[in-house]
A and B are shown apart, each in its own frame.
Chain A
Amino acid sequence: MADVTGKRILVVDDASLIRLYYRQALEAAGFTVEEALNGLEAIEKLLLEPVDLVIVDVNMPRMDGMTFLKTLRRQGSPIVAIPALVTSTEAAPQDLDAARAAGANFYLVKPLAQDVLVQYVRLMCGISA
């Protein structure tokens, strides 16, 4: 299985404390972390340099998480298939369905503890425990 060296994660969230919280956890676990404030900025960053996983919020200015995922899944390679983990404050079943339909690979409800985040990120990057 792959190891964590060189794995890059893009955190897309408009809340600066969430970005900082995820960043600290992921960097401590050995990942490299990039940040974006909204979906549009995330698309641009991905085109410049693809990552191994995106973690994306739902409510964001300028381009929300669902529109971001739909846009991402319409792009060409190499970014179209980047796995996406949605972390959201919305926990209702229809929110999960909407995210899955938009192209999310996994969904976690906020607030989230650092160890849970790292566990799922490792899993989604194909890293053994």
Chain B
Amino acid sequence: MNEDEFRRLCEFIYRRTGMVFTEAKRYYVERRMADRMLATGSTSFASYFARLRSDVRGEVEQFINAFTVNETYFYREDHQLQCLSADLLPRRILRPRANKTIRIWSVPCSTGEEPYSIAIWLLENWPQADAYEIEILGSDIDTRVLDAARAGLFGRRALMRLSADLIAKYFEQTDAEHWRLIDDLRQSISFSPVNLVEAAETRAHGAFDVIFCRNVLIYFDDASRRTAAENLYENLLPGGFICLGHSESMSRISPLFDVCRYSDAIVYQRPMERADG
């Protein structure tokens, strides 16, 4: 790939997904693209680029996958969890609340690592946890992953970021390669199917203090992203927060939310209820 091809590709990917590749990443991009060309039987940059632009058989998704870690695991992007306990929840409880329930939504939750991580993190790292009722919900469009999430059985790789202490405290080993989450934890989180672009489905889940919506919007086209953003806006209480995946940005999608910068992460906030002016 030469300089101009590299620029053309980068400009397209930037506009489509918001991912930025600098000259320093050139080699990395070339390697991944060579893989994709091989996989699609493209014989030239031009033919591959044409395929990517017209998104033949979901090529954009395939391309993004080649650049992102698609595996979900416990304590993935834990700086956001740090932000949750250090900045977001303290702000949510600053104002007097009608009730003692704090609601957190992990959507999409895939096989459950994310909502369970949130639960473990809060039990371990948020001293005020005991003063509140914390309701954590996991949802996904794929009912097979939801079944797996409810079963709560995980392999070695999913646990790689957890300390031995945490594993001993929250899991039971079932065989040489598998661990099951303790019943107490499994039973305290509910799972439900949802399609993020269907308002009737998202509304049924109610309003949340914090939503984690990581690594899904990047795959949507522009119109679906905007619809999903509006749905999620309705699912947030005024002043509530939404966290996205690390290569995603709400600013690429919609002006609905305010950008907040905290020491551990960038998050987006539904503004407080306000009148005009």
Contact = CB atoms under 8 A, between A and B. Distances in A.
User: A and B touching (C-beta < 8 Å)?
Assistant: yes
Contacts of B15: 37
B266 A37 contact: no
B255 A62 contact: yes
Nearest to B268: A44
Interface string B225-259: 00000000000000000000000010110110001
A48 B265 CA distance: 10
Contact of A41 (B11, B249, B261): B249
B251 A44 contact: yes
A43 interface: yes
B101 to A, nearest CB: 31
B259 A43 contact: yes
A40 B258 CA distance: 10
Nearest to A16: B11
Interface string B103-137: 00000000000000000000000000000000000
Interface in B3-47: 7, 11, 14-15, 18
A40 B257 CA distance: 10
Nearest to A35: B20
Given A40-B255, A43-B259, A48 B249 contact: no
A47 interface: yes
Nearest to A43: B259
A102 interface: no
Interface in A34-82: 37-38, 40-41, 43-44, 47-48, 62-63
Nearest to B15: A37
Given A37-B15, A41-B249, A48 B266 contact: yes
A47 B11 CA distance: 23
A47 B261 contact: yes
A48 B255 contact: no
Interface residues of A, number: 12
Contacts of B254: 62
Which among B18, B251, B255 has the highest number of chain A CB atoms within 10 Å?
B251
B163 to A, nearest CB: 30
A44 B249 contact: yes
A38 B255 CA distance: 11
B19 to A, nearest CB: 12
B53 to A, nearest CB: 15
B11 A40 contact: no
B251 A41 contact: yes
Contacts of A37: 14-15
A40 B266 contact: no
Interface in A94-111: none
A67 to B, nearest CB: 8
A43 B257 CA distance: 12
A38 B18 CA distance: 11
B14 A47 contact: no
12 contacts: A16-B11, A40-B251, A40-B252, A41-B18, A41-B252, A43-B251, A43-B259, A44-B259, A62-B251, A62-B252, A62-B255, A63-B255
Given A40-B255, A41-B252, A44-B266, 18 more contacts: A20-B7, A37-B15, A41-B18, A41-B249, A41-B251, A43-B259, A44-B249, A44-B259, A47-B259, A47-B261, A47-B266, A48-B261, A48-B266, A62-B251, A62-B252, A62-B254, A62-B255, A63-B255
**4 interchain residue pairs of minimum CB distance:** A40-B251, A44-B251, A47-B261, A41-B251
